[in-house]
Structure 1
Amino acid sequence: MERPRPLVIDPAGRDIHGEAARIRERGPVTPVELPDGVHAWAVSSPDLLKRLLTDPRVSKDPRRHWTQWINGEIAPEWPLFTWVAVQNMFTAYGGEHKRLRSLVSKAFTARRTAALRPRIEEIAATLLDRIEEAGRQGQVVDLREEFCYPLPIRVISELLGLPEEQGAELRAVVDGVFHTSATPEEVTHNYARFYAALGELVALKRRSPGDDLTSALIAARDDGDTRLSEQELLDTLVLMISAGHETTVNLMDNAIHLLLTHPDQLAHVRSGRVLWEDVVEEALRVEAPVAGLPLRYAVEDLKMSEFGGPEGVVIGKGEAILAAYAAAGRHPGKYGEDADRFDVTRIDKEHLSFGHGVHFCLGAPLGRLEAHIALRALFDCFPGLRLAVSNDELEPVDSFISNGHRSLPVRLA
C-alpha cells in the first residue's frame, strides 16, 4: 500500500481537537510530520494504541531503535530534543526501564500517595484564601496561574526537596520543554538552563541530604550503587519535575473550564448524582492533558493487521510513533457519536491519558488525588465562580504536546 502524504502537525498546537479529528479521519494509524520535517506515525485508535503500547516490539529508546537518531539526523536544536534525548525511565526499554523505574516507584506507592492528602488539602486551602482576598478586592483571578500551577508544583517540590527559591526557575524551564514551536536558540538555551538548575539542586542535596526523593536518588548514585549514572540521575529529575506538575496543571485547568462552561454537568456533581472522581476521569478523557506523546519506535517491521489495524499498513523498523492521546480520547468508535461531549454521567470513561502498559504514569494516582481535592475545595469555596472572558477569548498553550490554556481568568461571584 502506498504511504499517504503525512499530515503536518501544527507546532503551536492552536487547534488540538480539530487536528485530532483530522488524524482520526485518516484512519487508526497515519503518517504525520513533526517540527523540522521529522516524520512519525500517529496512532489514534484506542484499541490499536493499547496493543502497541504493550508490545515488546515497540521501544522508547532512540539510541537503540530510532533510525534518525542513530544516523545523527536529530539536532540538539530540535524542539522535541529533550523529550527523546533524556536518559531515564521515560526513554528506557526492557530491563533498563525496569531498573530505572524501580528507583522511583517507591515514592509513589498507594500508601505514600494517600498520606499526602492532608498536605494537599492544606496547600489548596492556603491558595484559596489568597484567591478569596483578591476576589474581595474585585480583581479578576487567573486560576491557572494562582491555583492550577502552584498546587502541583508545591507538592512535587516537597517530594523532591526543591528549595522554594528554585521554584520560579524550574517552572520556567519546564514550560520551555513543552514549548514545541520554540526557536533553535530558545531550545538550546532552555536545555542549558534546566541542567544548570538541576546541577545546583544535586550539589545542594549532596551537601545537605534530606528525607526526599532527590536525596534518595543521589544515594543510589553515590553510595557505590552503579545502577544509576550521573546523567540518569539528572534526567530522572527532569522527568519527575516535568511530569510531576505539567499534566496536573492541565488536568485542573481543563476540568475547571469544562465545569464552568457546562453548568448542567456541574449541577450533577453538586447534587451528589456523580462524584468528583467522575469529573476528573471525564475531563481526562475529553481533554487529555498531553495531546500527543513523543515518541516510540518500531524494533522491527510492524504489520498493523497483526494488531487489529488496517491491512497493508506497516510501521517500518526504526520508524517513530506518536501516541495521539487527544484523538484517542474522543474516538467515536469507542465513545459513540457524542464522543466530543463532556458528560460526567458517561458510563465508559476509560482513557489513555496517563498512558498504558509498563510506561503507565507512576504519578497518576497523585495527579488524580490533587485534582479531586482541588476541584472540590474550589467549587465549595466559590459557588458563584464564573469565567471572566468569553470562551473564544481563551488561548491554548503554545504546544502540540501540552493541552491547556495560557490563562483561565475568572470572577469569584
Structure 2
Amino acid sequence: MGYPRPLVIDPTGRDIHGEAARIRELGPVVPVELPEGVQAWAVSSPGLLKRLLTDPRVSKDPRRHWPQWIKGEISPEWPLFTWVAVQNMFTAYGGEHKRLRTLVSKAFTARRTSALRPRVEEIAATLLDGVEAAGRHGDIVDLREEFCYPLPIQVISELLGLPGELGAELRAVVDGVFHTSATPEEVTDNYARFYAALGELVALKRRSPGDDLTSALIAARDDGDNRLSEQELLDTLVLVISAGHETTVNLIDNAVHLLLTHPDQLTHVRSGRASWEDVVEEALRVEAPVASLPLRYAVDDLVMSEFGGPDGVVIGKGEAILAAYAAAGRHPGKYGEDADLFDVTRFDKEHLAFGHGVHFCLGAPLGRLEAHIALRALFDRFPGLRLAVPQDELEPVESFISNGHRALPVHLS
C-alpha cells in the first residue's frame, strides 16, 4: 500500500501546535514524512488513536513488523534511531512485551509510588531553597534549569541507584535522544556515549548491588526466571532513564508556564474551585509532554473505516504509525471549539498524554505525583512568581517529540 503525498514534519519542533492543527485539518489519519524521508501515518483523532493503540494488529516491534528496518534501510545515523532500535518493553510486542513490562512494573506499583511522596517533597523543598537564593536580589532565575529539570532527574536517579558522577553525562545524552534535528555525527556520538555510561552503571551495580531498580534488573538478567539479555538490560535502563525524567520535566515546565500566562486559572486553584490535580491533567491535555511518539507498525492491512475512521484509507501491512498526542489533546471533535484553551475547570480533561493500552506509561503515577508536589510547593513558596520575558520570546526545545521550553526565565516576586 503506497502513501499519498505526505505532510513534512518539522524536525526542530518550532511550531508543534500549528503543525498539529494542520494534521487535524487534513484528517484523522494522514501521511507524514519524518526526518530523512521516512514515511508514516499520523493519527490525531483521540477515538481512532485509542482503538489503534489497543488493537493486536498494531505492533511496536520493528524487527518483526517494519520492512524498512528488516531490510536494513534505517541507518544508525537517523535522528530517531534510538527510538526504534532499543530492545525493551517500549518496542516489544505480544508475549515479549508482557515479559519485559512485568520485570519493571514492580518498581512502579501504587504503593511504591505513594511511599516516594516524602522524599519527593524533600527534594522539591531543597531545590526551591536554591531557587530562592538565586533570585534573592531580583535576579532572573531559569526555573526549568533550577527546578523543573533537577527534580525528576534526582527522583529517577535515586530510584535507579545512579551515582552522582554519572548524572551529568546521562542527562546530556538523554537530551540528545529527544533532539530530533541532530546531525548524523551527533546521533552516532550520542548513541555511543549513552551505552558507555550505562555500561559503567551496570558494572558498578554488579560489583556493589543495592536496593534499587538497576540492581533488581541485573538480578533478573543474571539469574531470573524471565531472563533479560544484556541488550535488554541496557535498553530497559535507556527507557526508564529517558521516560522517567524528560516527560516529567516538560509536564512541570508547561504547567508552570500555563499558570503564569493564565492567572485566572491560578486563581481557581487558590480559591478552591480547582485542584492541583486538575491543573496537572489539563496541562497534560493541552500541552502533551510528548507531542508525537514514534513508532508503531501495522501487522496487517488496517482499514480505517473498521476503526471508526475515514472511508477509503488503509494503513498497509508494515507501514509505520505516529501517535500524534499533541494534535489529539486539542481535538475540537472531543473537547469543543475551545480545545486550545487551558481551563482547569474543564469537565472533560481525559487525554492520551501517557499513551493507552498495553503500552500505557508505567511511570504515569510517579510523574503525576512529582508534578502535584512541585506545583504546590513552587506557588506556595513564591506567590508573586512571574515570567521575566514576554511569552513570545520563550523558545521550544528542538524536537518534534519533546514538548517543552529551552528555558523558563522568571522573577520570584
TM over 0.5, yes or no?
Answer: yes
Secondary structure in 2 matching 1:317 = coil
Cross-structure match for 1:16: 16
Cross-structure match for 1:360: 360
Alpha-carbon distance in structure 1 between the residues aligned to 2:37 and 2:353: 26
Cross-structure match for 1:28: 28
For structure 1, which segment, 127-136 or 202-211, has the greater mean C-alpha deviation from structure 2 after superposition?
127-136
Cross-structure match for 1:382: 382
- 1:84 and 2:84 correspond: yes
Alpha-carbon distance in structure 1 between the residues aligned to 2:339 and 2:219: 47
Cross-structure match for 2:58: 58
Gapped runs of 5+ residues in structure 2?
Answer: none
- 1:47 and 2:47 correspond: yes
Cross-structure match for 2:322: 322
Q: In the TM superposition, what are the counterparts of 1:7-406 in structure 2 within 5 Å?
A: 7-223=7-223, 225=225, 227-406=227-406
Q: Deviations over 1:164-202 (max 9, x none)?
A: 111110000000000000000000000000000000000
Is the 8 Å Cα contact of residues 51 and 307 (structure 2) preserved in structure 1?
A: yes
Secondary structure in 2 matching 1:296 = strand
Secondary structure in 1 matching 2:135 = helix
Q: Deviations over 1:93-139 (max 9, x none)?
A: 00000000000000000000000000000000000011111111221
Alpha-carbon distance in structure 2 between the residues aligned to 1:397 and 1:365: 25
Secondary structure in 2 matching 1:136 = coil
- The Cα shift of 1:225 comes to 4.3
Cross-structure match for 1:410: 410
Is the 8 Å Cα contact of residues 250 and 404 (structure 1) preserved in structure 2?
A: yes
Is the 8 Å Cα contact of residues 99 and 226 (structure 2) preserved in structure 1?
A: no
1:123–1:304 Cα change, 3 Å = same
Alpha-carbon distance in structure 1 between the residues aligned to 2:269 and 2:294: 35
Alpha-carbon distance in structure 2 between the residues aligned to 1:3 and 1:290: 25
Alpha-carbon distance in structure 1 between the residues aligned to 2:177 and 2:224: 32
1:319–1:245 Cα change, 3 Å = same
1:104–1:2 Cα change, 3 Å = closer
Alpha-carbon distance in structure 1 between the residues aligned to 2:134 and 2:90: 40
Computed over aligned residues only, the root mean square deviation of the Cα atoms, in angstroms, reads 0.9
Secondary structure in 2 matching 1:211 = coil
Alpha-carbon distance in structure 1 between the residues aligned to 2:224 and 2:24: 50
Q: How high is the TM-score relative to the length of structure 1? A: 0.99
Alpha-carbon distance in structure 2 between the residues aligned to 1:306 and 1:277: 36
Secondary structure in 2 matching 1:170 = helix
Alpha-carbon distance in structure 2 between the residues aligned to 1:344 and 1:211: 39
Alpha-carbon distance in structure 2 between the residues aligned to 1:379 and 1:367: 18
Is the 8 Å Cα contact of residues 77 and 188 (structure 1) preserved in structure 2?
A: yes
Aligned-pair identity in percent equals 89
Cross-structure match for 1:6: 6
Gapped runs of 5+ residues in structure 1?
Answer: none
Q: How high is the TM-score relative to the length of structure 2? A: 0.99
Alpha-carbon distance in structure 1 between the residues aligned to 2:405 and 2:378: 18
Is the 8 Å Cα contact of residues 39 and 320 (structure 1) preserved in structure 2?
A: yes
1:3–1:195 Cα change, 3 Å = closer
- The Cα shift of 1:267 comes to 0.3
Q: Deviations over 1:17-41 (max 9, x none)?
A: 0000000000000000000000000
Amino acid at match of 1:386: R
Secondary structure in 1 matching 2:90 = helix
- The Cα shift of 1:227 comes to 2.1
Is the 8 Å Cα contact of residues 88 and 236 (structure 1) preserved in structure 2?
A: yes
Alpha-carbon distance in structure 2 between the residues aligned to 1:3 and 1:369: 42
Alpha-carbon distance in structure 2 between the residues aligned to 1:189 and 1:67: 26
Amino acid at match of 2:346: R
1:388–1:348 Cα change, 3 Å = same
Amino acid at match of 1:103: L
Secondary structure in 2 matching 1:90 = coil
- The Cα shift of 1:222 comes to 1.2
Alpha-carbon distance in structure 2 between the residues aligned to 1:218 and 1:133: 40
Alpha-carbon distance in structure 2 between the residues aligned to 1:296 and 1:364: 20
Alpha-carbon distance in structure 1 between the residues aligned to 2:284 and 2:373: 16
Amino acid at match of 2:383: P
What is the number of equivalent residue pairs in this alignment? Answer: 413
Secondary structure in 2 matching 1:267 = helix
Is the 8 Å Cα contact of residues 99 and 227 (structure 1) preserved in structure 2?
A: no
Q: Deviations over 1:277-312 (max 9, x none)?
A: 000000000000000000000000000000000011
Amino acid at match of 2:123: I
